Amino acid sequence: MIALNKEKKEIPILEYTVLAAVVIAALLFIYQIKTRDINLARSVFRGLVNGRYGVEKNIDWENLRGLDINAGAAYSKFSTGLEKAGYKRAFIQSFSSGFRRSEGNFKSFVNWRIYSKDSDKIIVAADYQGHNKTLLFVFPKSGRKLASIQWER
């Protein structure tokens, strides 16, 4: 009878640990899915602000509209890969230097969120703290590449 009581008091620590790990992993996976689009917008914007050419792979160059400029139309006029790469590099450097000249600060963009989502596109918004402005990032659902950066009107 004493042996039975000892068996009942043993707590299956390994099983509870595995269960807790599975629950935490599932919650992290769900959180990552919800924030994937926000993280992509933030990453692309940070790359543009810092002048990192590697961000070019996350931009839909043929359709890009940036702050009332139809960059996609200008990009489409170039015929060779070398010209297109040069345009991408110049665009990213111009964006970065313009951001610095206007004394912009990446950390001033706060409250990153999904602004709207429909069957065609996802719009991510970030508020420009202290300026009462909101910047919108448009990503088509197919391709997940930045197609537009615009101030909210």
pLDDT, tens only, 89-132: 999 999 999 999 988 889 999 999 999 998 899 999 999 988 89
Domain count, the chain: 1
The number of beta carbons lying within 10 Å of the beta carbon of residue 35 is: 14
Tens of pLDDT, residue by residue over 27-47, are 666 665 667 889 999 999 999
| 142: containing domain | 2-151
Q: Tell me the CATH number at 59.
A: 3.10.450
Give the pLDDT band of residue 69 (cuts 50, 70, 90). confident
Distances (CA, A) of 76 to 44, 53, 83, 95: 21, 19, 10, 19
Of 19 and 53, the structure prediction assigns the larger pLDDT to 53
pLDDT over 90 at 25, yes or no: no
Give the type of residue at 126. Answer: A
Which residues are CB-contacts of 48 (< 8 A; sequence separation ≥ 6)? 55, 92, 95, 96, 99
pLDDT of residue 8: 58
| Residue carrying structure tokens 């924030």 | 35
Cα→Cα distances 133→33, 99, 150, Å: 27, 15, 11
What does the pLDDT read at residue 9? Answer: 63
